Amino acid sequence: MTEEMSGAEMVIRALADQGVKHLFGYPGGAVLPIYDAIFAQDKVQHILVRHEQGAVHAAEGYARSTGKVGCVLVTSGPGATNAVTGLTDALMDSIPIVCITGQVPTHLIGNDAFQECDTVGITRPCTKHNYLVKRIEDLPRVLHEAFYIASSGRPGPVVVDIPKDIQFAKGVYSKPKDFPHTGYKPKLKGDIDKIKQAIELMAHAKRPLFYTGGGVINSGKHASDLLRELVKLTGFPVTSTLMGLGAFPAADPQWMGMLGMHGTLEANMAMHDCDVMICIGARFDDRITGRLDAFSPGSKKIHVDIDASSINKNVKVDVGIVGDCAHVLEDMVRLWRSGAKHPDKKALGDWWKQIDKWRSRKSLAYRRSNEVIKPQYAIQRLYELTKDRDTYITTEVGQHQMWAAQFYNFQEPNRWMTSGGLGTMGYGLPASVGVQLAHPKSLVIDIAGEASVLMTMQEISTAVQYRLPVKIFIINNKYMGMVRQWQELLHGGRYSESYSEALPDFVKLAEAYHAHGIRCEKPGDLDHAIKEMIDVDKPVLFDCVVDPKENCFPMIPSGRAHNEMILGDAAESLDSAITEAGKVMV
């Protein structure tokens, strides 16, 4: 089926044919024809953000919470450069985004025209792929290909840069199915011989564990279901990265908590001491491995990843399986069920006893207070008061993000939206806008830091405009807490520029935006205030004033091994934990 129309109309038509319902954008000279096309239809709703970075983060939240592609439209020059942080964020965290950028007319490209920038040049290293469309005949194919590339294999952002004359030009539109996908074909099925080798290793394991990551979320709900099945069948313990939280339920007894720099003692010690590590859709990030030459020295490693370049990048593995998590997990479950050999029950029992010993150190424990709100307590209460609701959590970046990961117990995938790889302060508020739009009836909360949230605060205005009742729960410690913590522990307590001086009054700020403001300063008032936040059918800025000096523990200082973890003073003595660990290390 073909039809003649303008390039601008093709853009909106292609989005509609790709099933896009919402488009986050900001207008400007180089995209006005597309805005005209938006005006003339009602299939795709445009959401006007307040900054292009916010548009991309909102699209990321939308994408991560639905599994669909998030869509963005920005103008040339500053519109495109403002989108760069969001695009980089989406690339690092494997989020499917299609971002359409306007460009100056083709005959002006290269002439330093008004609001010209080399968008494909600037975004080449921060996209999975990008296009500059110079002929109207290419536009339909490129638009559909952009969706395919963004969402298949390892997802990522794709930019389509469209000069203004191409938006005006008339051409023949074609539907998605008219383009066979050539060239780029990600491999979904894993090599069955490798999977058999993996199963063999697992069957002989004495101290096994699953180390899972964002790839399980990317792979879809089915992958989480299969992971749960395999974990149950094997009886092995499981830990996850920050990006993978929710794929396996935190309430399950086989769950050890998050691993890595701010992970639990049991997860990190188990990583260090295991004999078979089964990594599913995680990428051996440096927040996980710590000191590479001391990373899980005695284990055989299995790695399932859809991107061959993730395998053997940081850590050499014994069995690398290139494939999609759900596909490979399905084979693993089948082979495990039909396999004759199963692990040594006694060894596995001893392993669990060891893990329970580590657990008994209570590495997440903190000193409670009746005077000031402890940030951990705030998140625990938030969890208790929202866990029975249909809740989605986003975060900013810093200590509050780590406490959210540690204390908000995720039971389902796609409920947790955070900037892991790039660590972008200012992600959470716009992301919550995107999530709320995708899930209008759900409770959407941004667990924020007072410094981060100011980076994209203006998006609260977007939330108000579209009546999106997002809850911005600010853990206000009056510091860039994560920076302060590093300065305290590693730079002799020289708190250079990390105090949040001259903060706004968040309650008044909320009112200025026609949102609802709440401040809470006492632990005793917290539950009531959180309930109020939930009940208000409006965007809320919640100023939760917490202990300014609290540190986030456990912590593995960079460049240290997993068994060189620092615990908080409320946890059971660190020294005994290390000696205990030393014994089993051999």
Partner 1 sequence: MNAPTTSHYPAAPTAQKAESHTLSVLVDNEPGVLARVIGLFSGRGYNIESLTVSETEHAKHLSLITVVTTGTPMVIEQIKNQLDRLVPVHRVVDMTLSGRSIERELAMVKVKGKGDSRVEALRLADAFRARVIDATTESFVFEITGKSDKIEQFVALMLPLGLVEVSRTGIAAIARGPEGM
Ligand X SMILES: Cc1cc2nc3c(=O)[nH]c(=O)nc-3n(C[C@H](O)[C@H](O)[C@H](O)COP(=O)(O)OP(=O)(O)OC[C@H]3O[C@@H](n4cnc5c(N)ncnc54)[C@H](O)[C@@H]3O)c2cc1C
Ligand Y SMILES: Cc1ncc(C[n+]2csc(CCOP(=O)(O)OP(=O)(O)O)c2C)c(N)n1
Which residues are near partner 1 by CB under 8 A?
Answer: 120-121, 124-125, 128-129, 132, 149, 183-184, 286, 289-293, 307-309, 311-313, 316, 486, 490-491, 557-560
Span interacting with ligand Y, options 70-78, 94-102, 344-352, 443-451, rule CB under 6 A: 443-451
- The DSSP element (H or E) to which 355 belongs, if any, is helix 345-359
394-419 b/e with 16+ CB inside 10 Å = b? bbbbbbbbbbbbbbbbbeebbbbbbb
572-581 b/e with 16+ CB inside 10 Å = b? eebeebbebb
With CB under 5 to 8 Å by kind, the binding choice for 349 among partner 1, ligand Y, ligand X, none is: none
- The DSSP element (H or E) to which 100 belongs, if any, is strand 97-103
Nearest to 212 by CA among 328, 96, 356, 313: 328
- Applying CB under 6 A, does 418 fall inside the site for ligand Y? no
SS3 letters for 216-270? HHHCCHHHHHHHHHHHHHHCCCEEECHHHCCCCCCCCCCEEEECCCCCCHHHHHH
Angle 47-50-56 from CA coordinates, rounded to 5°: 65
**What is the rounded distance in angstroms from the CA atom of residue 78 to the CA atom of residue 48?**
16
Span interacting with ligand X, options 44-52, 230-238, 395-403, 409-417, rule CB under 6 A: 395-403
- Applying CB under 6 A, does 449 fall inside the site for ligand Y? yes
Least distance in Å: CB of 279 to ligand X? Answer: 8
Nearest to 407 by CA among 381, 433, 429: 381
- Applying CB under 6 A, does 374 fall inside the site for ligand Y? no
**What is the rounded distance in angstroms from the CA atom of residue 104 to the CA atom of residue 557?**
48
- Applying CB under 6 A, does 483 fall inside the site for ligand Y? yes
**Cβ atoms 322, 306 nearer than 8 A:** yes
Least distance in Å: CB of 447 to partner 1? Answer: 22
Question: Mask 249-288, x = binds ligand X (CB under 6 A)?
Answer: ---------xxxxxx-----------------xxx-x-xx
Least distance in Å: CB of 147 to ligand X? Answer: 16
Least distance in Å: CB of 517 to partner 1? Answer: 35
**What is the rounded distance in angstroms from the CA atom of residue 218 to the CA atom of residue 150?**
12
**Cβ atoms 363, 265 nearer than 8 A:** yes
With CB under 5 to 8 Å by kind, the binding choice for 396 among ligand Y, partner 1, Mg ion, none is: ligand Y
- Applying CB under 5 A, does 260 fall inside the site for Mg ion? no
**What is the rounded distance in angstroms from the CA atom of residue 553 to the CA atom of residue 367?**
12
With CB under 5 to 8 Å by kind, the binding choice for 475 among partner 1, ligand X, ligand Y, none is: ligand Y
Name the residue nearer to partner 1 (CB basis): 128 or 400.
128
With CB under 5 to 8 Å by kind, the binding choice for 281 among ligand Y, partner 1, ligand X, none is: ligand X
Least distance in Å: CB of 484 to partner 1? Answer: 14
With CB under 5 to 8 Å by kind, the binding choice for 25 among ligand Y, ligand X, Mg ion, none is: none
Contacts with ligand X by CB under 6 A: the residue count is 37
- The DSSP element (H or E) to which 86 belongs, if any, is helix 78-92
Name the residue nearer to ligand Y (CB basis): 377 or 479.
479
Least distance in Å: CB of 151 to ligand X? Answer: 10
- Applying CB under 6 A, does 282 fall inside the site for ligand Y? no
Span interacting with ligand Y, options 64-72, 268-276, 472-480, 516-524, rule CB under 6 A: 472-480
User: Which residues pair with residue 208 across a beta bridge?
Assistant: 276
Least distance in Å: CB of 455 to ligand Y? Answer: 6
- Applying CB under 6 A, does 330 fall inside the site for ligand X? no
Least distance in Å: CB of 479 to Mg ion? Answer: 5
Name the residue nearer to ligand X (CB basis): 77 or 263.
263
- The DSSP element (H or E) to which 5 belongs, if any, is strand 2-6
Task: Identify the sign of the CA torsion 450, 452, 455, 461.
Answer: negative
Relative to beta strand 276-280, strand 208-212 is parallel
* Peptide bond between residue 554 and the one before it cis (omega within 30 degrees of 0): yes
- Applying CB under 5 A, does 449 fall inside the site for Mg ion? yes
Report the residue from 425, 429, 510, 545 that binds ligand Y according to the rule CB under 6 A. Answer: 425
Give first-to-last CA distance, the chain, whole Å.
68
**What is the rounded distance in angstroms from the CA atom of residue 418 to the CA atom of residue 410?**
13
Site for Mg ion in 475-494 (CB under 5 A): 477, 481
Least distance in Å: CB of 136 to partner 1? Answer: 17
- Applying CB under 6 A, does 68 fall inside the site for ligand X? no
Q: Annotated catalytic sites, by residue? A: 52, 114-115, 164, 482
- Applying CB under 6 A, does 542 fall inside the site for ligand Y? no
**Cβ atoms 16, 88 nearer than 8 A:** no
**Cβ atoms 556, 565 nearer than 8 A:** yes
Contacts with ligand Y by CB under 6 A: the residue count is 19
User: Which residues contact ligand Y by CB under 6 A?
Assistant: 396-400, 423-425, 449-452, 475, 477, 479-483
User: Which residues contact ligand X by CB under 6 A?
Assistant: 93-94, 154, 213-215, 218-219, 241-244, 258-263, 281-283, 285, 287-288, 305-307, 310, 324-325, 397, 401-402, 420-421, 423, 482
User: Which residues contact Mg ion by CB under 5 A?
Assistant: 449-450, 477, 481
